[in-house]
Amino acid sequence: MKTLVLKVNPKKPELEKIRIAAELLRKGKLVAFPTETVYGLGANAFDEQAVKKIFKAKGRPLDNPIIVHIYSLKQLYEIASKIPEEALLLAKRFWPGPLTIILPKKKSIPDVVTANLKTVAVRMPKHAVARALCKQAALPIAAPSANISGKPSPTSAKHVKEDFYGKIACIIDAGRTNIGLESTVVDLSSKRPVLLRPGGVTAEQLKKILTELEVHAVAKAEKSVSIAKSPGTKYRHYAPEAKLILVEGKKEKALAKAVELAEQHAISGLRTALLLIDVKKDMALENVVVKRFSTKLSAARHLFSALRELDEQGIEIIVVNGIDERGLGLAIMNRLRRACSERIRV
Ligand code: AMP
Ligand code: MG
């Protein structure tokens, strides 16, 4: 298949290009587009056949439901059957933005989108390109992250091309995404609000509005628990080709152990990288590729692209230090715990 690549201005997307992509969506084709979190692989959420193409292209298990992206609150009423007061408060505070809200669904949304669940996950993205596309298509857009299932999520059009060039109708290229981790997912479909996936909006921010918020075990990825409510959480995710070892514990101890392990693996002849999260001081180690992020914000933004880059460099072992779960820390730890092949506690 020929893939049309449309290079657009991330702040002021050219309308004529967005219209081309919107028309492809309306015709049932797949279009990859940037959001402020990661790139999404979009289809018309009302079109069952189009949405099926997403599962096929990604190799996504059919029991993993897809988030629906909207442009206006009016569209929320077209797809959700019950909208509690809290949902409107959250929408007012965080939309457009990196927050996904789970609500009881209307029949308008085909079962394939929600993996037969009676609920639908909805988000209003903030990125100017995503907004323009939703507006021009005048449709809710079903879009998971635009990566082959299991791989690190795409934070640039280059990543999307690696996975989908020649396999989908269109890729909108607007450079790098800003937040770098997927949206926060909060379930408002039952009595008590539950945080299912931490992301760009932090648990602390949510608790200011949802005082009763429960942080589900899957949000921490502490155990390999899975729940029927959010089936996507049971799959290993975000994983690089390299073996990823996560060292958890008190900051200084975890850091020291991560350095020690990286040195050992390098000495044993393996191509080794050390990923340092929220570490202020520079570090150089012999025969170890060191990638350092000095803040949680920059770690979130660059984590997935760092994993892809290390794979490109042929790295065999990546050792990474765990961090505290405050603020963006929870989302970063969730991704690392789900991406790693080994977890060590010190
Ligand atoms: P991704 O598309 O890769 O960003 O993943 C979307 C996440 O949202 C997955 O963890 C899904 O399981 C979750 N999700 C989507 N729709 C629902 C829903 N109706 N109920 C619960 N979780 C959902
Ligand atoms: Mg994904």
Same domain, 268 and 196: no
Would you write out the chain's pLDDT as a tens digit for each of its 346 residues?
999 999 999 999 999 999 999 999 999 999 999 999 999 999 999 999 999 999 999 999 999 999 999 999 999 999 999 999 999 999 999 999 999 999 999 999 999 999 999 999 999 999 999 999 999 999 999 999 999 998 999 999 999 999 999 999 999 999 999 999 999 999 999 999 999 999 999 999 999 999 999 999 999 887 555 555 566 666 667 889 999 999 999 999 999 999 999 999 999 999 999 999 999 999 999 999 999 999 999 999 999 999 999 999 999 999 999 999 999 999 999 999 999 999 999 9
- Among 102, 141, 181, which is best to mutate for testing ligand 1, by the most ligand atoms less than 8 A from CB? 102
Q: Quick check: CB of 226 below 6 Å from ligand 1?
A: no
Residue range of the domain that includes 178: 4-220
Q: Quick check: CB of 231 below 6 Å from ligand 1?
A: yes
Same domain, 269 and 194: no
Helix/strand/coil for 171: strand
- Give the CATH number of the domain where residue 198 resides: 3.90.870.10
CA of 105 to the centre of ligand 2 (A): 21
Q: Is the peptide bond before 96 cis (omega within 30 degrees of 0)?
A: yes
- For residue 37, give the ligand nearest its CA: 1
Residue 311 near residue 240 (C-beta atoms within 8 A):
yes
- For 25, the token pair is 């969506």
Residues in the chain: 346
Closest residue (by CA) to atom 9 of ligand 1?
Answer: 232
In a domain, 226, yes or no: no
DSSP H helices, the chain, are 15-26, 48-58, 73-79, 85-94, 111-114, 128-137, 157-164, 203-207, 217-220, 251-267, 296-312, 329-339
What predicted TM-score, i.e. pTM, was given to this entire model? 0.95
Same domain, 192 and 269: no
Query: Count of domains in the chain?
Result: 2
- For 238, the token pair is 């975000």
